[in-house]
């Protein structure tokens, strides 16, 4: 597994010690360690009294276009000084990307993800060994769950796998709610934070927003936010645009054209597609 994680991006595990499979290690509260690969970016900020600390792992940008990536952890940390988890969570709603946020404050230590939890946050549940990781298999591995799929290639012991819920599910298909293939591993959902003292998820209330009644105003605000996110992403990655028959990809295409730049486009040709398939015709 060491070779698998060597060049992996967006890869991490929070465990009780520095794990040899990872190149980087950052001590956290609760006697935990954030282990991450050399290719995974981590930025953090801490106040002088060391009572508040924020760690951001992954790609996290400001949709308002006001903060740099380096400024975001300090902005969230100062927000937590004003109102703890609730205030930091509300402040983080302006962020976009694929990331994990860790907060240490007097109320405890918490982890939550981006708006859609695009970066997986799997955690052990009802297990003697706490672990949080980017995949269910890594969480099971570091959670010492018997017969996990990464343990010498063995198939997980039947008593640890949720056989009934996975037997008819297509490969890669998300399971209902916070379920995973393992009975003692859960996935953190959007709008939830994981309490690292109890390894229980808690739902967070969405921040109150000022109603916008005019559709033109809504479109203008959306366009401004998307443009900011687009520009920030383009600083760090070569952007590409997939095309299908759906309205979402067409909107992305139109927006990319408006923003300019040399952007590759591609589509998918699945078995059974012909030249008359809408996906290919529209693309």
Please give the Cα distance from 128 to 138 (Å, whole number): 16
The per-residue pLDDT for 283 is: 62
* Strand, coil or helix: 54: strand
Q: Is the pLDDT of residue 40 over 90?
A: yes
Show the 3-state SS of 162-189.
CHHHHCCCCCCCCCCCCECCECCEEECC
The per-residue pLDDT for 128 is: 67
Give the mean pLDDT of 188-203: 95
Could you give the C-alpha distances from 8 to 21, 36, 179, 219, 281, in angstroms and in order? 11, 9, 25, 37, 36
The per-residue pLDDT for 113 is: 97
pTM of the complete model: 0.89
Strands (E), 106-182: 108-113, 122-124, 132-133
Q: Is the pLDDT of residue 29 over 70?
A: yes
% of residues, the chain, pLDDT over 90 = 59
Q: Which of 186, 189, 191 is nearest to 122 (CA)?
A: 186
Q: Give the CA radius of gyration of the chain.
A: 21
* Strand, coil or helix: 83: helix
Q: Are strands 192-195 and 241-243 parallel, antiparallel or unpaired?
A: unpaired
CB 98, CB 10: distance < 8 Å? yes
Q: Phi and psi of 81, rounded to 5°?
A: -65, -30
The per-residue pLDDT for 109 is: 97
The per-residue pLDDT for 153 is: 47
% of residues, the chain, pLDDT over 70 = 88
Q: What is the pLDDT of residues 219-243, one digit of tens each?
A: 899 999 999 999 999 999 999 988 8
The per-residue pLDDT for 178 is: 92
The per-residue pLDDT for 1 is: 58
Q: Is the pLDDT of residue 46 over 90?
A: yes
CB 255, CB 249: distance < 8 Å? no
Q: Which of 170, 202, 206, 171 is nearest to 186 (CA)?
A: 202
The per-residue pLDDT for 247 is: 86
The per-residue pLDDT for 194 is: 97
* Strand, coil or helix: 234: helix
Q: What is the pLDDT of residues 112-154, one digit of tens each?
A: 999 999 999 999 987 668 999 999 989 989 998 865 555 544 5
Q: Is the pLDDT of residue 100 over 50?
A: yes
Could you give the C-alpha distances from 274 to 64, 73, 176, 242, 268, in angstroms and in order? 43, 49, 34, 18, 11
The per-residue pLDDT for 148 is: 52
Of 28-42, 62-76, 245-259, minimum mean pLDDT range: 245-259
């Amino acid at each position: 597994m060491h070779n698998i994680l060597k060049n992996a991006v967006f890869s991490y595990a929070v465990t009780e010690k520095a794990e040899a499979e990872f190149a980087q290690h950052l001590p956290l509260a609760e006697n935990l360690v954030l282990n991450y690969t050399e290719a995974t970016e981590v930025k953090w900020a801490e106040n002088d009294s060391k009572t508040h600390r924020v760690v951001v792992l992954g790609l996290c940008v400001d949709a308002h276009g006001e903060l740099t990536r380096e400024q975001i952890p300090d902005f969230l940390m100062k927000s937590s000084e004003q109102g703890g988890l609730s205030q930091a969570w509300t402040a983080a709603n302006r962020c976009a990307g694929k990331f994990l946020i860790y907060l240490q404050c007097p109320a405890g230590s918490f982890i939550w993800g981006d708006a859609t939890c695009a970066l997986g946050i799997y955690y052990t549940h009802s297990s003697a060994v706490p672990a949080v990781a980017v995949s269910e298999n890594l969480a099971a591995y570091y959670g010492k769950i018997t017969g996990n799929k990464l343990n010498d290639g063995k198939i997980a012991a039947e008593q640890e796998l949720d056989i009934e819920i996975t037997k008819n599910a297509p490969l890669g298909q998300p399971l209902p709610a916070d379920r995973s293939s393992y009975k003692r591993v859960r996935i953190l959902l959007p709008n939830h934070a994981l309490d690292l003292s109890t390894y229980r998820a808690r739902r967070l209330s969405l921040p109150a927003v000022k109603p916008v009644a005019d559709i033109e105003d809504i479109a203008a605000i959306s366009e401004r936010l998307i443009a900011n996110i687009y520009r920030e992403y383009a600083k760090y990655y070569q952007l590409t645009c997939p095309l299908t028959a759906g309205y979402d990809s067409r909107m992305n295409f139109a927006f990319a054209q408006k923003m300019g730049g040399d952007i590759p486009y591609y589509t998918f040709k699945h078995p059974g597609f012909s030249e008359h398939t809408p996906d290919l015709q529209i693309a």
